[in-house]
């Protein structure tokens, strides 16, 4: 992981990445990565009973650790005989669920008393409810997660050492067209530049560096595909397109397949908290949950996904309510690939957002809109609304008993960040409201728009 100090100095960062790239990637990935990658390859053939036994064994180890070291879990698990949790029903009966609000308000008590800041990395959610949740992961969790993702990508022949990828997600430094990460065999392309005039330069880099896998937001690939088809452009054809971080819609897949007819398409579903990781198999567009990585439940009443990270013993996520909802769930293993990975989620209802539009920048995908929102402390929730292609309204809810100057400072930061995304000509209006209506899982649609990218740019 690149130190924060180096990221402040572009030339130093570039040199550091080039030097890191001289060291073999197979060694840089780390021993835990390879242990987990091999373990996942072996255990994907295990029967369901053996996978559940492994999962529950890891759960008991985690709960004992949290009960001993975390003040919050010491109290929550005080009456629980952890050794008797030998099935999912016993776990559900003994341990209550944990809401996002409860995690945020009890964070200092949830932290284990013996954690060392040098051994963890800070992380946060995307901020799609207007205020990103802050927490920690151990360094080992990063290797474990990457191994789990690469295990899934293996289904489309991705090799963690040899495969090179073009990434269409995140932001590039200073809005550059692309940014190179040689130590990761990856080049990140700006998804704020998916217009026809930028695509030939992108294609030249992709061909020159032999980037055979495309990885990124479904919304970004939809916009890229739309532009390729609209202008009749020749663009490199990847071996596979790896979709992440958003829901995947049929209209997006249809467009992507037209622009990239020879590419295999694979989607995975996960979250920053590490409470679920799931991906399509080779045969079905349904999400197969990795039981070695986390323990996942679905609330039968609301469809809400509830996840337990089996390895975060710094600030535990145990029966954590994600507010994402599953519209279809199968409790039996997939009959096509025969992996005993359960549950299988056949539909997701969470993360259903619209696009924002700017005359200067075109369509802006929902994940990019979260970047100005990641460090909010006093503004509790946000909702973007757009009816007019030249105007965006931002409704916001503040935390109680917050000083006016603190709110003003965060509003200024939001507007500055949004200006970087939409340019200088779009009108931005911030409007304080008492509350924002929610759906049955407690989540709300944080971008609402009457503009539709399927209809092309507004006139």
User: Count of CB atoms within 10 A of residue 100's CB?
Assistant: 18
Residue matched to tokens 């690469």:
150
Q: Residue 345 above 80 pLDDT?
A: yes
Least confidently predicted of 91-100, 258-267, 428-437: 428-437
In a domain, 395, yes or no: yes
Cα dihedral 243, 246, 247, 250 in deg (nearest 10): -50
DSSP 215: E
Chain segment 291-310, per-residue pLDDT in tens: 999 999 999 988 999 999 99
Q: Residue 351 above 70 pLDDT?
A: no
Residue matched to tokens 């105007």:
391
Chain segment 368-380, per-residue pLDDT in tens: 787 787 777 788 7
Specify the 3-state DSSP secondary structure of 408: helix
Look at residue 436 in the predicted model and tell me its pLDDT: 83
- Backbone φ and ψ of 277, nearest 5°: -145, 125
DSSP 20: H
Mean pLDDT of 179-204: 92
Q: Which residues contact 106 (CB under 8 A, 6 or more apart)?
A: 72
Q: Residue 386 above 90 pLDDT?
A: yes
Largest CA distance in the chain: 66
Look at residue 6 in the predicted model and tell me its pLDDT: 53
Q: Which residues contact 58 (CB under 8 A, 6 or more apart)?
A: 310, 311
Cβ 343 vs Cβ 325: under 8 Å: no
Least confidently predicted of 1-5, 182-186, 239-243: 1-5
Q: Residue 230 above 80 pLDDT?
A: yes
Q: Residue 4 above 60 pLDDT?
A: no
d(CA 176, CA 306): 38
Cβ 202 vs Cβ 192: under 8 Å: no
Closest CA to 393 of 384, 401, 405: 384
Look at residue 126 in the predicted model and tell me its pLDDT: 62
Q: Which residues pair with 167 in a beta bridge?
A: 188, 215
Cβ 48 vs Cβ 340: under 8 Å: yes
d(CA 433, CA 420): 25
Q: Residue 3 above 70 pLDDT?
A: no
179-191 CB burial, b ≥16 within 10 A, e <16 = bbbbbbbbbbbbb
372: exposed, middle or buried (C-beta count within 10 Å: 0-12, 13-18, 19+)? buried
In a domain, 390, yes or no: yes
What integer best gives the mean pLDDT of the chain? Answer: 89
- Backbone φ and ψ of 31, nearest 5°: -65, -35
Q: Which residues contact 376 (CB under 8 A, 6 or more apart)?
A: 127, 130, 131, 132, 382, 410, 414
Q: How far is CA 343 from CA 29, 277, 279, 328, 333, in A?
A: 29, 11, 11, 10, 7
Look at residue 276 in the predicted model and tell me its pLDDT: 96
Q: Which carries the bigger pLDDT value, residue 139 or residue 280?
A: 280
In a domain, 414, yes or no: yes
Q: Residue 130 above 60 pLDDT?
A: no
In a domain, 145, yes or no: no
Chain segment 245-296, per-residue pLDDT in tens: 888 888 889 999 999 999 999 999 999 999 999 999 999 999 999 999 999 9
In a domain, 254, yes or no: no
Closest CA to 219 of 274, 168, 157: 168
In a domain, 192, yes or no: no
| % of the chain beyond a pLDDT of 90 | 59
- pLDDT band of residue 325 (cuts 50, 70, 90) is confident
Helix 250-259 and helix 218-231, axial crossing angle in degrees, nearest 10:
50
CA 374 remoteness from chain centre: 14
DSSP 381-397: EEEEEESSTTEEEEEEE
Q: How many domains does the chain have?
A: 1
Look at residue 333 in the predicted model and tell me its pLDDT: 93
Cβ 339 vs Cβ 44: under 8 Å: yes
Look at residue 378 in the predicted model and tell me its pLDDT: 81
CATH of the domain at 362: 3.30.300.30
In a domain, 407, yes or no: yes
Chain segment 41-61, per-residue pLDDT in tens: 999 999 999 999 999 999 999
d(CA 255, CA 453): 12
421-448 CB burial, b ≥16 within 10 A, e <16 = bbeeebeeebeeeeebeeeebebbbbbe
Mean pLDDT of 316-339: 93
Q: Which residues pair with 266 in a beta bridge?
A: 242
Domain that holds residue 424: 356-455
Look at residue 174 in the predicted model and tell me its pLDDT: 81
- pLDDT band of residue 8 (cuts 50, 70, 90) is low
d(CA 341, CA 290): 6
In a domain, 263, yes or no: no
């Amino acid at each position: 992981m690149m130190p924060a100090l180096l990221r402040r100095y572009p030339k130093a960062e570039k040199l550091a990445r080039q030097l890191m790239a001289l060291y073999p990637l197979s060694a840089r990935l780390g021993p835990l990565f390879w242990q987990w990658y091999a373990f996942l390859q072996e255990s994907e053939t295990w029967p369901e009973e053996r996978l559940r036994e492994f999962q529950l064994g890891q759960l008991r180890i985690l709960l004992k650790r949290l009960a001993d070291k975390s003040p919050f879990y010491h109290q929550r698990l005080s009456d629980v005989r952890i050794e008797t949790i030998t099935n999912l029903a016993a776990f559900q009966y003994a341990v209550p669920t944990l809401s996002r609000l409860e995690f945020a308000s009890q964070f200092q008590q949830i932290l284990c008393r013996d954690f060392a800041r040098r051994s963890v990395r800070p992380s946060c959610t995307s901020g799609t409810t207007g205020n990103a949740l802050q927490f920690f992961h151990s360094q080992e969790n990063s290797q474990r997660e990457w191994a789990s993702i690469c295990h899934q990508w293996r289904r489309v022949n991705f090799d963690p050492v040899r495969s090179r990828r073009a990434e269409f997600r995140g932001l590039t430094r200073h809005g550059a067209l692309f940014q190179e990460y040689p130590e990761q065999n990856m080049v990140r392309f700006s998804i704020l530049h998916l217009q026809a005039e930028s695509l030939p330069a992108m294609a030249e880099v992709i061909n020159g560096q032999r980037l055979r896998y495309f990885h990124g937001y479904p919304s970004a690939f939809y916009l890229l595909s739309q532009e390729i088809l609209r202008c009749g452009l020749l663009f490199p054809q990847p071996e596979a397109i790896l979709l992440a971080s958003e829901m995947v819609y049929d209209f997006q897949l249809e467009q992507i397949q037209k622009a990239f007819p020879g590419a295999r398409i694979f989607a995975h579903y996960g979250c920053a908290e590490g409470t679920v990781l799931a991906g399509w198999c080779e045969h079905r567009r349904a999400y197969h949950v990795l039981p070695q990585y986390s323990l996942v439940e679905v609330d039968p009443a609301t469809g809400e996904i509830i996840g337990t990270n089996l390895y975060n013993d710094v600030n535990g996520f145990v029966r954590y309510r994600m507010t994402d909802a599953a519209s279809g769930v199968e409790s039996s293993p997939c009959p096509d690939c025969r992996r005993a990975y359960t549950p299988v989620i056949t539909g997701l209802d969470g993360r259903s957002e619209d696009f924002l539009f700017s005359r200067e920048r075109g369509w802006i995908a929902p994940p990019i809109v979260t970047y100005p929102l990641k460090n909010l402390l006093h503004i509790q929730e946000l909702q973007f609304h757009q009816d007019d292609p030249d105007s965006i309204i931002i409704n916001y809810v503040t935390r109680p008993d917050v000083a006016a100057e603190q709110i003003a400072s965060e509003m200024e930061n939001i507007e500055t960040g949004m200006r970087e995304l939409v340019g200088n000509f779009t009108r931005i209006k911030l409007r304080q409201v008492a509350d924002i209506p929610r759906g049955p899982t407690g989540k709300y649609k944080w971008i609402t728009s009457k503009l539709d990218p399927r209809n092309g740019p507004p006139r």
